[in-house]
Amino acid sequence: MGQAKIGWKWAIALFSLLLTVLIWRQGLKESFDRPSVAPRISLMQTEMAVSASSSVPESIKDIFLDSEPQKKLYQTLKNISFEQIDDRQRLLLAVLEESESEQKLILKKDFKDKNFETVKKYLLDRNKGKELDEFPDSNEINLDPLLYQTSCLRLGFSEAKCINKRYNSRVALRLLTSQLLPFIASFLGTILLINYILVFLRKKNTQWPEIIAPPLSLIDMVLLISGGFVVIGEVVFPALVIPITDLLFNNLSSPLKDSLRVLIGYCSMTIGPLLIIRYQLMGIVSSKTEGGWLQWKIKPIKEGILKALAGWLMIMPLVLLVGWLMNEVIGDQGGSNPLLELVLSSDEFIPLFFLLITTVVLAPVFEELVFRGVLLPVLVSKVGKISGVLFSALIFALAHLSVGELPPLFVLGVGLGLMRLSSGRLFPCALMHSLWNGVTFASLMLVA
């Protein structure tokens, strides 16, 4: 009877592993066709730089802003194909275009927005040599501040009329914050990392806490990751739940519907792996060590928070370095996480709140429980610390099904694995992961 059970276990594990290879292969392949959010973020930052240039002091303008942000914005818009450019971007390009013939060509197609048509009329009248006595105030024409400012100035009106100084000051603050935050974090993280390495080398006999691994086999891990996380979590349950959510929320607006779809879809994804973990640990005598098999060890809370903060700071420069190297060597790899696009596209509180809960609370807790709570300790007990950290980080990165984000996620996974081993606790890992996602979310909000 026992042999038959083991045989079925092997058969299910191998079948799940085969499906995982096929699913991940297809998912990674599809990520090549998924657009990256990097160009969109870069465009948003350039637009912010144009607005902020009138509010940023000259002494720091060259450091934080491009020397000619308006020219850079023009070149960026010029590189967008006419099939992909939207009406706002096309009007902005027309406003920045110096050549009258090129401007006429850009404006040849009508705009759906009547306010855009109003600006188009003013531009064409100016090209015909007509004198423009007035331009509608910003509260009379529904244009965003940047589009109003560039249009108004292009038509020859004064800065006092065209520039919204209060808005530009807010944009300057957001832009400087979005640039200073990773810089300061990377600077502090580099100092902490160097100090940590020196301390580690000086105290060669310093022992990390013992990692308590549940007595599970590698086959159990295949069943957990391949069977639970991938087949059930990423395929079966979403296939059952998503059509239902689409039917229930069909009448909701797109941002709210999409955010609810993500939240409920992610919750359904956790059910399979959590049930498998519960089943695997249920028949095992509970560990007598504090925290049980998963070693959450929430207390002392203050120490866990400080460890998470230090870990986040130390991993920040490494992830940014890997991301920069990938862009320099390969270029934009595409395949950004669809969640990033949703965050950038939504400007409503409730959808953003649902996305925040998913990315900053649910994802870190669930993923740390699976990858650093169960998988890493078992791998360490079977193949050693170094191989265990590397293998768990690779699986963690692959599970996100994004070629473009795979190298940075691998580095993040290594950092989280080292945090788990050095602290002997799962709680700081979840906090560090949550902090990483939260800062990424906040950075997107600053430029959105």
Looking at residue 401, what is its pLDDT? 86
Report in angstroms the alpha-carbon separations of 137 from 65, 164, 394, 400: 28, 11, 56, 48
Looking at residue 390, what is its pLDDT? 96
- At 334, the pLDDT band (50, 70, 90 cuts) reads low
Q: How far apart are the first and last CA of the chain?
A: 60
Angle (deg, nearest 10), helices 38-52 and 338-345: 30
Tell me: pLDDT of 316 over 90.
yes
Least confident range from 160-169, 288-297, 438-447: namely 288-297
| Cα within 13 Å of Cα(65), Cβ side | 28
Select from 445, 9, 437 the least CA-distant residue to 222.
Answer: 9
Dihedral angle of Cα 170, 160, 45, 262, to the nearest 10 degrees? 60
Tell me: pLDDT of 252 over 50.
yes
147 backbone dihedrals φ, ψ, rounded to 5°: -65, -40
Q: What integer is the mean pLDDT of 273-279?
A: 91
What is the DSSP-derived secondary structure letter of residue 111? Answer: P
pLDDT tens-digit profile of 350-360?
Answer: 889 999 999 99
pLDDT tens-digit profile of 220-230?
Answer: 999 999 999 99
DSSP 3-state of 347? coil
What is the DSSP track for 131-180? -------TTTS---HHHHHHHHHHTT--HHHH--HHHHHHHHHHHHHHHH
Report in angstroms the alpha-carbon separations of 341 from 38, 250, 258, 347, 369: 10, 20, 11, 12, 26
For 433, other C-beta atoms within 10 Å of its C-beta total 27
Q: Cα–Cα distance between 272 and 104 in angstroms, integer? A: 58
- At 332, the pLDDT band (50, 70, 90 cuts) reads low
How many percent of the chain have pLDDT more than 90? 43
Q: Cα–Cα distance between 384 and 216 in angstroms, integer? A: 15
Looking at residue 134, what is its pLDDT? 82
Q: Cα–Cα distance between 424 and 431 in angstroms, integer? A: 14
Looking at residue 1, what is its pLDDT? 45
Place of tokens 């006419």: 82
Q: Label residue 292 left, alpha or beta by phi (over 0 means left) and psi (-120 to 50 means alpha).
A: left
Residue 245 near residue 193, CB atoms below 8 Å: no
Average pLDDT over the chain, rounded to an integer: 87
Q: What integer is the mean pLDDT of 65-83?
A: 86
Looking at residue 146, what is its pLDDT? 92
Query: Does pTM surpass 0.75?
Result: yes
Q: Cα–Cα distance between 363 and 442 in angstroms, integer? A: 16
Q: What integer is the mean pLDDT of 254-269?
A: 87
Q: Cα–Cα distance between 208 and 418 in angstroms, integer? A: 10
**Residue 165: what residue type?**
K
Q: Cα–Cα distance between 11 and 318 in angstroms, integer? A: 40
DSSP 3-state of 304? helix
pLDDT tens-digit profile of 413-426?
Answer: 999 999 999 998 99
Tell me: pLDDT of 282 over 90.
no
Tell me: pLDDT of 156 over 90.
no
Tell me: pLDDT of 69 over 80.
yes
Q: Is the dihedral of CA 426, 429, 435, 441 positive or negative?
A: negative
What are 385's two structure tokens? 């610390």
What is the DSSP-derived secondary structure letter of residue 307? Answer: H
- Highest mean predicted confidence (pLDDT) among 212-216, 329-333, 384-388: 384-388
Burial 419-431 (b: 16+ CB within 10 A, else e): bbbbbbbbbbbbb
- At 211, the pLDDT band (50, 70, 90 cuts) reads confident
Please classify residue 134 by burial: count the beta carbons closer than 10 Å to its beta carbon, then call 0-12 exposed, 13-18 middle and 19+ buried: exposed
